[in-house]
Structure 1
Amino acid sequence: MKKLLLESLAASLLLAVPASAFAATERLSILSNGEKVGTVVVETEGDHAVVDYRVDNNGRGPKHREDLTFGEGGVPIAWTIKGTSLMGGTVDESYRWSAGRAQWISQADTGSARAKRPPLYVVNDDSPYAIWVYAQAALAQPDHSIAVLPSGKISLEKLQTLTLGDGAAATKVTAWRLNGVQLNPSYLLLDKDQKLFALFGPSADGITIREGYEASVPMLARLGGELETGRALDLQRKLAHRFDVPVRIRNVRIFDPETGRLSPLSTVVVMRDTITQVIADDRLPAPEDEVLIDGEGGTVYPGLHDMHSHATLPSGLMYLAAGVTATRDMGNDNSFLQNLLSQIDSGQVAWPRIVPNGFIEGRSAYSARYGFIPSSIDEALKDVRWYADRGYAEIKIYNSMNPDWVKPIAAEAHRLGLRVTGHVPAFDTPDRVIADGYDSIAHLNQLMLGWILRPEEDSRTPLRLTAMSRAGSLDLNSEAVQKTVRLMKQRGVALDTTVVILEQLMMSRAGQVPMGQEDFLSHMPIGFQRYRKRSFVTIADKAQEAAYQSGYDKMLETVGMLHKAGIRLLPGTDDATGFSVQREIELYVKAGLTPAEALRAGTLGAEEFFGRTDRLGSIAQGKLADFVLVPGDPTKDIAAIRRPRMVIRGGAIYFPSEIYSALGITPFTTAPTIRAATKVAERDGGGDAVGFGYGEHVDED
């Protein structure tokens, strides 16, 4: 009887406790290319939440624990994050609002602000749950937008409602787009209780979804593609300017990558996507039925190339704004890239030209989830043929590939007319992959590791980057180094360098603006700014800091040595901002190339590698109109390439100032002065006639 009374009393007490006081657990899976690579586990009790976030993909991934206390309007009043970041660096961040004062400490900065009510703080090391926190705070506002700390504003946009799952598991969710945190928007699904159901994008890479609904990932990738494509189409219609009449660009000096010199003041005439005239000392009146653009003494040069990119749909506009008109995609979600190539070919979306590489990885605990991961050599050869049938230019081999498979894969690729590139697989060497058929090597560190690592060391881990701290003691005149250089020269093996991403990793220091990003970072969304101002590697002491500096210096010395040895250098970034391409060219100059030599490598040199110099790579009559207008003379000061005023790609004219404004970025330059053709309308990206629409850029005279 006593036991029954106690149970009855306990039941009565439970009924009296608010539901919000019970502990609740949310579990989400993170998938990439159809495979689970991480988890998010959220434990919530009342106004308190603890988040465990873990990712293991490609031998790396963030692993940290968040502790949040929520206040008014679902805005955190306390938030701590502890663990490790993408490359294993320490994460130790804290935020607190109390008595009208907000204070925070992170790798990016330390600060405080007065606020009568809890403001929304954007963390330095976020997670899918953090994105949900931001969305919830914006959703609580009448206009779905909210100011954030340390600075900026974010907004939430409702898109559509749908149902995921079948039968009893069917769940009605709403799709939202969150803008203003990072460079690209985030797409979320919220359920009827506004809980996080999924975080997704336009590919199957890195989709977060509620546990038990993983089968919906392909559909979410399609939805993400549709939503982001709709946004891209709107931006293309707004930003791509096309004309049915010649466009005459006057008062410009033309960079010739063959000679490395600039022309006298000249005129370039473009009709649709072709350069029809290059005129020196043009003194005739401009025809009134042409569009006239005044270059004001600036320089035009062929569009830059990113020879190591991984395309995303939003990155196209960023590339174009930076003067990048061609890329080499070095591995992607295959279905996403195929769809993107079709969209680019049809002119639907703004993007540089893409030369696609087919990604093939070996199976291991460290596998990268891109492209194909064959389980046998026969499967690998079948994958090569799949890529060949779809017009891919190269096969890219990755870290976990069986070294014994490289030679037959390369032979099959060559038989089908494809080149071979990639990382040096773990426990393999640069000399062997060159002998086995590599036509180029991806990343400077992948080459240098062959001279640095011991045979038993595993380059599938972050060691492939952190071991560069040992490079300072490397003797570039040693036989091991020079043997590899001789092999590269004998076989015509190129190197896509990606020096810029190595700089960002090796020289990153908490609280500091990264080297080479001083003039653009403050223009970017707050989340992007804060993430870049952090250490991506662990700096334990002064000796380790000096080792990374020494390794960085040796890296630049190696680039200079390879250039002098006649090795073709292909500027690449492994990034997608466009700014990084500009910095890669600058680093070539820092390594000892002249500005003209560096600019040649990023323009004509890349097209020589592609075999397209008959139509691209220089500004000449009959070639395709892919070029950039900048103020100043980049052959004297390579930093001039950081200020494009106009970019032409495939007959479409883009003004970077317009692109940046549309993407929520403070512009760096202004558009040139334009005179519209008399009684001639502009065509938008879809080809329909519309008003000229340039506002202050139009010279009405």
Structure 2
Amino acid sequence: MSRALLPLVLALAAAPPAAQAADESLVIVSNGETVGSLKIHTQGNRVAVDYRVDDNGRGPKHHEDLVLDPSGVPTSWTIHGTSLMGGTVDESYAYAGQEARWKSQADAGSQAFARPPLYIANDDSPYALALYARAAMGRPDHCLAVLPSGRVCAQAVRTFALGSGKAALPVTAWRITGVQLNPGYVLLDTTGRLAGVFGPGADGTTIRAGYEAQVPMLAKLATELETARALALQQQLAHRFATPLRIRNVHVFDPVSGTRSALSTVVVMRDTITQVLPEDPAAPDPADETVIDGQGGTVYPGLHDMHSHATLPSGLLYLAAGVTATRDMGNDNAFLQDLITRVDAGQVAWPRIVPNGFIEGRSPYSARFGFIPVSVDEALKDVRWYAARGYAEIKIYNSMNPDWVAPIAAEAHRLGLKVTGHVPAFDTPDRVIADGYDSIAHINQLMLGWILQPGEDSRTPLRLTAMARAGSLDLAAPAVQHTVGLMQQHHVALDTTASILEQLMLSRAGHVPPGQEDFLGHMPIGFQRYRKRSFVTLPDAAADAAYHSGFAKVLETIGMLHRAGIVLLPGTDEATGFAVQRELELYVQAGLTPAQALRTGTLDAERFFGREGQLGTIARGKLADLVLVPGNPVEDIAAIRRPRLVLRGGVAYFPSEIYTALGIAPFTTPPPLHPAKEALASQDAGLTARSAFGYEIADHAD
């Protein structure tokens, strides 16, 4: 922390815990439009918070009551309302008699403490981040242990004036880590009152009412702060080699044959695979090469997330999971252009990005990014904007006028772009296929065409909750098979995003969601608890059973489409990489073999992009995007959950290092690495035992 920040930090730490004004009003802004509000009423040590978001037909809506101790830490905290998708929120926390008790969707418990601990709410609002910041910045190192577990830290990163002239408000931006995967940024004024919440961990930008014009500036600040963090992490975690990199003692997965080779050696120089050879156990390690011992593991091409929405921090999470390529299915256009530039320059850690241009229609349910044209002519202009900037596809969203789809698709195809997206409200899969879709986004968007009744509005959460009806769907019905026939005839692919459907349909309060048992306990406490909830309303056992039956039909549909020859694109609509691994596991549950599932996530994705000459298999002359795991994913697809080494264009990342840097407990250890003797002798090579790799390396074998 700079000396310039110190006086303000000390003043904030000494400020009263609750805002002095009786009422505070903040708004939530997304893509230039107000989508929610945050009202805070303070009287003495009592705080009441009303939080409401309506964005893209969904959003949390709840009321909070808090009682704060003299240091600003809650001794009582209740939260009642609904969460993102309408699930019930009924959370309570209390500290009395040196005992803390809590109950939330995620968990319940009690623990003895000599003084009130800081409780991390499960269903919180932006107000909570200010509360956490004030509690942490009062500690000498600005960090403190929290309840139910974990550690939260606050770092002052920038002091500036919000607004100008008489309205100028001095604020400090604090970076909060340890709650969620991504850091959050909170603005506090000189009295410790909340002025804003922004950044990659925020749901929109929360800003004090009257300062909405400052939201673009905060977006720019978030980019600056996160970019600086990403640049530093890339310097710390990306390993480049001046010598050939020889990966020995590995089996190589071939997506074409679906088989795994005998023990082999793969050699990489810069970003290219230069050799794939049978392993020779008697051959010594070349003294002028860097050698990694794969210890009998499996090397396969990098995985793909065919439905992502990029954020700056998610790149490292993708790479750690073995994901080396993504298809961005809609984003803030300026942000994505800047990110692609930085990724291509090697400045930040990210998989390869294939961008899709997002075009939405205007309605009360509109998603707030990309373009929202007001006429078909404007929509065609937007298509041309995307084409000029190298976008691969146009993505059409829920509120699009169905009559505009055909002209948008025609213009996209004229310019060499594919077309994908949701099935717009009051449209049908059959019609969008006829109008020019090359792929459909989300298996529920496909299945809704067989489930919804005429007039039902898929712009609302119904596009997800209606999947509870899927259990009774007859996949042999003429309507279903007609759509499948159209997909075959027009070569229409499907990006499935089954893993996010599984999370929404099958997550239950107090339980680890299916498929997340393997990793959730490694994550920051806020992320863990948020996942252990019911995302849908479950009034009775019949509703619970309907969602389980509906998801079973989703898997059955995936299997049916695979047998029909429909190209499946494993997308997730998430950003951790863990969901990509789960997507392929779900393919296996749907009836694909592990080798077939792994092929969809490697070679089939590259064939969809038209890049199979460069990527998708491990062969001489191809780009070095590959993953090393222990075990055999051809026999057990779960082996892909444990990458030890990931190469993205020849740049090496060790997942254990990434997870440690991000506050996640690692899952594996790095493979043994033997640096080239010439690298050890050269200061310029930068390959010393600890500064380059962060872990002990083995002695070079003569």
> What range describes the TM-score normalised by the shorter chain of this pair?
over 0.9
Secondary structure in 1 matching 2:22: strand
Deviation at 1:399, TM superposition (A): 0.3
Tell me which residue corresponds to 1:217. 215
Determine the C-alpha separation between the residues in 1 that align with 2:169 and 2:41: 21
- The yes-or-no answer on 1:691 pairing with 2:691 is no
**Residue-by-residue CA offset, 1:333-367 (whole Å, 9 max, x unaligned):** 11111110011011000000000000000000000
Tell me which residue corresponds to 1:231. 229
Deviation at 1:281, TM superposition (A): 3.1
Asked if the contact 2:173–2:186 (Cα under 8 Å) also holds between the matched residues in 1, the reply is yes
Asked if the contact 2:645–2:671 (Cα under 8 Å) also holds between the matched residues in 1, the reply is yes
Deviation at 1:679, TM superposition (A): 2.5
- The yes-or-no answer on 1:317 pairing with 2:287 is no
How do 1:95-494 and structure 2 match up within 5 A? 95-201=93-199, 206-282=204-280, 283-494=282-493
* Structure 2 counterpart of 1:581, one-letter code: V
Secondary structure in 2 matching 1:74: coil
Tell me which residue corresponds to 2:536. 537
Secondary structure in 2 matching 1:243: coil
* Structure 2 counterpart of 1:353, one-letter code: R
Secondary structure in 1 matching 2:253: strand
Pair 1:333–1:203, CA change in 2 (3 A) = farther
What runs of 5+ residues in structure 2 fail to find an aligned partner?
1-15
Tell me which residue corresponds to 1:595. 594
Pair 1:501–1:21, CA change in 2 (3 A) = closer
* Structure 1 counterpart of 2:204, one-letter code: G
Asked if the contact 1:569–1:601 (Cα under 8 Å) also holds between the matched residues in 2, the reply is yes
Deviation at 1:284, TM superposition (A): 2.7
Deviation at 1:472, TM superposition (A): 0.5
Asked if the contact 2:184–2:201 (Cα under 8 Å) also holds between the matched residues in 1, the reply is no
Percent of pairs with identical residues? 70
Determine the C-alpha separation between the residues in 2 that align with 1:683 and 1:301: 32
Pair 1:620–1:19, CA change in 2 (3 A) = closer
- The yes-or-no answer on 1:669 pairing with 2:671 is no
* Structure 1 counterpart of 2:688, one-letter code: G
Deviation at 1:81, TM superposition (A): 0.5
Deviation at 1:673, TM superposition (A): 0.2
Asked if the contact 1:33–1:204 (Cα under 8 Å) also holds between the matched residues in 2, the reply is no
Determine the C-alpha separation between the residues in 1 that align with 2:695 and 2:26: 50
Tell me which residue corresponds to 1:66. 64
Determine the C-alpha separation between the residues in 1 that align with 2:21 and 2:229: 39
Deviation at 1:22, TM superposition (A): 7.0
Determine the C-alpha separation between the residues in 1 that align with 2:499 and 2:387: 31
Determine the C-alpha separation between the residues in 1 that align with 2:415 and 2:379: 14
Tell me which residue corresponds to 1:4. none
Determine the C-alpha separation between the residues in 2 that align with 1:110 and 1:150: 9
How do 1:516-531 and structure 2 match up within 5 A? 516-531=515-530
**Residue-by-residue CA offset, 1:301-327 (whole Å, 9 max, x unaligned):** 000000000000000000000000000
Secondary structure in 1 matching 2:679: coil
Asked if the contact 1:203–1:222 (Cα under 8 Å) also holds between the matched residues in 2, the reply is no
* Structure 2 counterpart of 1:49, one-letter code: V
Determine the C-alpha separation between the residues in 2 that align with 1:362 and 1:683: 59
Tell me which residue corresponds to 1:6. none
Pair 1:20–1:491, CA change in 2 (3 A) = closer
Determine the C-alpha separation between the residues in 1 that align with 2:181 and 2:17: 38
**Residue-by-residue CA offset, 1:163-202 (whole Å, 9 max, x unaligned):** 1211110111111111100011111111111111111116
Determine the C-alpha separation between the residues in 1 that align with 2:17 and 2:156: 28
Pair 1:682–1:347, CA change in 2 (3 A) = farther
How do 1:552-567 and structure 2 match up within 5 A? 552-567=551-566
Determine the C-alpha separation between the residues in 2 that align with 1:393 and 1:682: 46
* Structure 2 counterpart of 1:110, one-letter code: A
Determine the C-alpha separation between the residues in 2 that align with 1:306 and 1:162: 39
Secondary structure in 1 matching 2:171: strand
Tell me which residue corresponds to 2:12. none
What is the RMSD of the two structures over their aligned residues, measured on CA atoms?
Answer: 1.6
* Structure 2 counterpart of 1:153, one-letter code: R
Which deviates further from its counterpart, 277-286 or 514-523?
277-286
Deviation at 1:645, TM superposition (A): 0.4
Determine the C-alpha separation between the residues in 1 that align with 2:140 and 2:561: 59
**Residue-by-residue CA offset, 1:255-277 (whole Å, 9 max, x unaligned):** 00000000000000000110000
* Structure 1 counterpart of 2:545, one-letter code: A
Asked if the contact 2:689–2:695 (Cα under 8 Å) also holds between the matched residues in 1, the reply is no
Deviation at 1:23, TM superposition (A): 5.8
Tell me which residue corresponds to 1:612. 611
Pair 1:203–1:35, CA change in 2 (3 A) = farther
Pair 1:700–1:451, CA change in 2 (3 A) = same
Deviation at 1:330, TM superposition (A): 0.3
Determine the C-alpha separation between the residues in 1 that align with 2:368 and 2:273: 41
Equivalenced residues, count: 682
Secondary structure in 2 matching 1:366: coil
What runs of 5+ residues in structure 1 fail to find an aligned partner?
1-17
Deviation at 1:278, TM superposition (A): 0.4
Secondary structure in 1 matching 2:627: strand
Asked if the contact 2:19–2:193 (Cα under 8 Å) also holds between the matched residues in 1, the reply is no
Asked if the contact 1:202–1:221 (Cα under 8 Å) also holds between the matched residues in 2, the reply is no
Which deviates further from its counterpart, 199-208 or 124-133?
199-208
- The yes-or-no answer on 1:573 pairing with 2:572 is yes
Determine the C-alpha separation between the residues in 2 that align with 1:691 and 1:293: 15
Determine the C-alpha separation between the residues in 1 that align with 2:584 and 2:325: 15
Asked if the contact 1:682–1:691 (Cα under 8 Å) also holds between the matched residues in 2, the reply is no
Deviation at 1:141, TM superposition (A): 1.3
Tell me which residue corresponds to 1:91. 89
Match of 1:57 among 32, 55, 58: 55
Deviation at 1:160, TM superposition (A): 1.6
Tell me which residue corresponds to 1:626. 625
* Structure 2 counterpart of 1:116, one-letter code: A
**Residue-by-residue CA offset, 1:193-239 (whole Å, 9 max, x unaligned):** 11111111169971111111111111111110010011111111110
Which deviates further from its counterpart, 507-516 or 134-143?
134-143
* Structure 2 counterpart of 1:245, one-letter code: T
Asked if the contact 1:329–1:354 (Cα under 8 Å) also holds between the matched residues in 2, the reply is yes
**Residue-by-residue CA offset, 1:360-417 (whole Å, 9 max, x unaligned):** 0000000000100011111111110110010000000000000000000000000110
Determine the C-alpha separation between the residues in 2 that align with 1:537 and 1:648: 39
Secondary structure in 1 matching 2:372: coil
Deviation at 1:700, TM superposition (A): 1.6
**Residue-by-residue CA offset, 1:672-694 (whole Å, 9 max, x unaligned):** 0000111316999xx98463423
Secondary structure in 2 matching 1:72: coil
Tell me which residue corresponds to 1:46. 44
Secondary structure in 2 matching 1:242: coil
Determine the C-alpha separation between the residues in 2 that align with 1:572 and 1:499: 8
Tell me which residue corresponds to 2:5. none
Tell me which residue corresponds to 2:34. 36
TM-score of the superposed pair, with normalisation by structure 2: 0.95
Secondary structure in 1 matching 2:592: coil
Tell me which residue corresponds to 1:10. none
- The yes-or-no answer on 1:80 pairing with 2:71 is no
Deviation at 1:286, TM superposition (A): 2.0
Deviation at 1:696, TM superposition (A): 4.3
* Structure 2 counterpart of 1:408, one-letter code: P
TM-score of the superposed pair, with normalisation by structure 1: 0.95
Determine the C-alpha separation between the residues in 1 that align with 2:194 and 2:159: 14
- The yes-or-no answer on 1:515 pairing with 2:475 is no
